[in-house]
Amino acid sequence: MSTLPEEFTATTTWSDHLKVLRCPRCTSGLVPAPPRLRCAGCYATFPIRDGILVVKEQTDDNNRVAQEFYDSALWPKFRFWEKVTWVCNGGERRARNQVLRHLPRQPGLNLLDVAVGDGVYLPWMPVDWQVVGIDVSWSQLQVCRARTAGAPVRLVQCEAETLPFHDAQFDAVLSIGAFNYFNDPEGALREMIRVGRPGATIVISDEMPDLTGRMLGHKLGLPALDRWIVSRLMHLGDSFTDMVERFRNLDVRSIAGGVLPEVQYHEVWRGLGYVLVGRVPD
Ligand X SMILES: C[S@@+](CC[C@H](N)C(=O)[O-])C[C@H]1O[C@@H](n2cnc3c(N)ncnc32)[C@H](O)[C@@H]1O
- 158 is an interface residue for Zn ion by CB under 5 A: no
Within a 10 A sphere around the Cβ of 35, how many other Cβ atoms?
Answer: 9
* CA 190 to chain CA mean position, Å: 15
Q: Which is nearer to ligand X, 41 or 187 (CB)?
A: 187
Q: Are 173 and 192 in contact (CB under 8 A)?
A: yes
The contacts of residue 127 (CB under 8 Å, 6+ apart) are 1, 3, 4, 5, 8, 151
- 134 is an interface residue for Zn ion by CB under 5 A: no
Considering only residues 18 to 77 of the shown chain, the ones binding ligand X according to CB under 6 A are 63, 66-67, 70
- Minimum CB separation of residue 255 from ligand X in Å reads 15
* CA 203 to chain CA mean position, Å: 11
The CA radius of gyration of the chain, in Å to the nearest whole number, is: 19
The contacts of residue 94 (CB under 8 Å, 6+ apart) are none
- Minimum CB separation of residue 222 from ligand X in Å reads 27
Which residue number has the CB closest to ligand X? 117
The residue from 116, 173, 263, 275 that contacts ligand X (CB under 6 A) is 116
The residue from 115, 260, 268, 276 that contacts ligand X (CB under 6 A) is 115
Residue 63 touches which of Zn ion, ligand X, none (CB < 5 to 8 A by kind)? ligand X
- 177 is an interface residue for ligand X by CB under 6 A: yes
- Minimum CB separation of residue 106 from ligand X in Å reads 21
- 23 is an interface residue for Zn ion by CB under 5 A: yes
- Amino acid occupying residue 1: M
> Rounded to the nearest 10 degrees, how much is the dihedral formed by the CA atoms of 68, 57, 103, 125?
-90
- 276 is an interface residue for ligand X by CB under 6 A: no
End-to-end CA distance of the chain: 31
- Minimum CB separation of residue 126 from ligand X in Å reads 18
Piece of 19-27, 162-170, 178-186, 259-267 that binds ligand X (CB under 6 A): 178-186
- 180 is an interface residue for ligand X by CB under 6 A: no
The residue from 14, 165, 182, 240 that contacts ligand X (CB under 6 A) is 182
The residue from 17, 29, 36, 41 that contacts Zn ion (CB under 5 A) is 41
The residue from 98, 110, 137, 241 that contacts ligand X (CB under 6 A) is 137
Q: Which is nearer to ligand X, 39 or 243 (CB)?
A: 243
Closest-CA residue to 252 (of 217, 211, 201, 281): 211
| Contacts made by residues 83-90, CB under 8 angstroms, sequence distance 24+ | 85/269, 85/272, 88/270, 89/269, 89/270, 89/272
Binding residues (CB under 6 A) for ligand X: these are 63, 66-67, 70, 115-117, 120, 134-137, 140, 159-160, 176-178, 182-183
